Amino acid sequence: MAGDLLDSLNAAQQQAVQKLDGPVLVLAGPGSGKTRVLTHRIAYMIGPAGVDPFHILAVTFTNKAAREMKERLDNLLGAGRAAALTVGTFHSLCARFLRRDIVHLGRERDFAIYDSDDQQRLMKRVLKDENLDEKKYPPRAIHAAISRAKNEFIDPDEYGRLGRTYYDEVVTRCYKRYQQLLRDSNALDFDDLLVETVRLFEQHPQVLERYQDRYLYMLADEYQDTNRVQYLLLKLLASKRRNLFVVGDEDQSVYAFRGADIRNIRYFENDYPDAQVA
């Protein structure tokens, strides 16, 4: 079975797939089969290597990619073999973590998740509360600035300290009010799902360790598209055993508008100087 799983990979990819322990970075261009490498890695772990899928966490960037990964694994291993595998987007996984553990941050488990329309309605209220003209300060522009800050793991106070212009001061005011209104409504926006999970793990190491002991092996697709908060999340989860396998293309980033940082690929090699690179 091992041979069948490896046949479609080149020599460097085969070595990467078979290296179970320690950090691995697979670099490849578009259309070169990065996701196939990741999927075959999981299949190799569950099949020939005998790793319990319960202890494997795979992160994708879209729900479609997560579904396709499960389908490919069923084709490679047989239906149901990977059923205990945890696979999903950063946002869906963080929502799952927070439903269980957000109480450690003084929040309620039944929080609402505000979609884009909810966020825009709330931002309009923020501008009204702050007596700001929507024509001068468009809600979408203010919200985009707040979203970029969250993707960089910058809270309202730090944003205010870093600000240099009056516009930055306006964004700081709106950011503080926006977060207060979210909290008053027992709600999180999409960015908060990631930010609050990182805060949870940083402030409550016993919670982080529980997830580290559950997920002994972690894999991430399209690593070039991660932003800072996603980078921090993976780094925290992998900090105990360092079994992190990522695939990416250092020449391409689809999500730059969402704060994706291509430098995360280079940071990977700095964080894990012993990483195997394929």
pLDDT in tens, 127-143: 999 999 999 999 999 99
The predicted model gives 267-274 an average pLDDT of: 91
Percent of the chain at pLDDT above 90?
A: 77
pLDDT tier at 28, thresholds 50, 70, 90? confident
Is 31 annotated among the ligand-binding residues? Answer: yes
Q: What is the rounded average pLDDT for all residues in the chain?
A: 92
| 3-state DSSP percent of the chain in helix, strand and coil, to 5 | 60, 10, 30
Query: Does residue 105 lie within any of the structural domains?
Result: no
pLDDT at 257 over 60: no
pLDDT-derived band at 260 (thresholds 50, 70, 90) equals: low
Buried b (16+ CB within 10 A) or exposed e, 242-257: ebbbbbbbbeebebee
Comparing 53-57, 79-83, 101-105, which segment has the lowest mean pLDDT?
A: 79-83
The vertex-22 CA angle with 208 and 68, nearest 5°, equals 75
Q: Are residues 271 and 221 in the same domain?
A: yes
Q: Does residue 62 lie in a domain region? A: yes
253 pLDDT exceeds 60?
no
Q: Are residues 228 and 171 in the same domain?
A: no
Q: Check whether 238 is labelled as a binding-site residue.
A: no
pLDDT at residue 5 in the model? 80
Average pLDDT over residues 89-97: 98
User: In the listed set 135, 163, 185, which residue is the last one of a domain according to the structure?
Assistant: 185
Alpha-carbon distance 178 to 156, whole Å? 10
What CATH number has the domain bearing residue 137? 1.10.10.160
Q: Is 103 part of any domain?
A: no
Strands (E), the chain: 24-27, 56-60, 86-89, 112-114, 187-189, 217-220, 244-248, 276-277
Q: Are residues 169 and 236 in the same domain?
A: no
Residue ending a domain, choose from 132, 151, 185: 185
CATH number at residue 226: 3.40.50.300
**Residue 91: DSSP 8-state:** H
138 assigned ligand-binding residue: no
Rounded to whole angstroms, the Cα distance separating 191 from 115 reads 10
Closest CA to 182 of 90, 102, 257, 89: 102
Q: Which two tokens stand for residue 128?
A: 């009204």
Per-residue confidence (pLDDT) for residue 145, from 0 to 100: 98
79 or 141, higher pLDDT? 141
In the predicted model, what is the mean pLDDT of residues 232-251? Answer: 93
Q: Measure the CA–CA gap between 161 and 158, rounded to whole angstroms.
A: 5
Domain holding 149, by residue range, is: 112-185
Q: Is residue 50 marked as binding? A: no
| pLDDT band at 32; cut points 50, 70, 90 | low
Which of 161, 185, 209 corresponds to the end of one domain?
Answer: 185
Whether residues 138 and 88 share a domain: the answer is no
Question: Total structural domains in the chain?
Answer: 2
pLDDT band at 34 (very low <50, low <70, confident <90, very high): confident
Q: Is residue 177 part of a domain?
A: yes
Check whether residue 213 and residue 248 sit in a common domain: yes
Asked if residue 151 belongs to a domain, the reply is yes
Q: Tell whether residue 32 is among the known ligand binding residues.
A: yes
Please indicate, yes or no, if residue 106 is contained in any of the structural domains: no
User: Span 106-135, mean pLDDT?
Assistant: 97
Tell whether 33 is in a known binding site: yes
> What is the mean pLDDT of the segment spanning 152-179?
97
Residues 253, 215 within the same domain: yes
**Within-domain flag for 190:** no
Say if residue 244 is in the same domain as residue 160.
no
- pLDDT score, position 3: 55
Whether residues 147 and 179 share a domain: the answer is yes
53 labeled binding residue: no
Question: How many angstroms separate the CA atoms of 170 and 146, rounded?
Answer: 11
Q: What are the tens digits of pLDDT across the range 181-236? A: 999 999 999 999 999 999 999 999 999 999 999 999 999 998 988 999 999 999 99
Q: What is the pLDDT of residue 31?
A: 61
Q: What is the pLDDT of residue 259?
A: 58
**Lowest-pLDDT range, 99-113, 122-136, 243-257?**
243-257
Nearest by Cα to 34 from 233, 260, 267, 251? 251
Tokens describing residue 241: 């055993």
Q: Is the pLDDT of residue 254 over 60?
A: no
Q: Is the domain of 94 the same as that of 231?
A: yes
Both 142 and 222 in one domain: the answer is no
Q: Is residue 107 part of a domain?
A: no
Q: Are residues 242 and 160 in the same domain?
A: no
Q: Is 28 labelled a binding residue?
A: yes
CA–CA dist 54, 219 (Å, integer): 14
Same domain assignment for residues 132 and 268: no
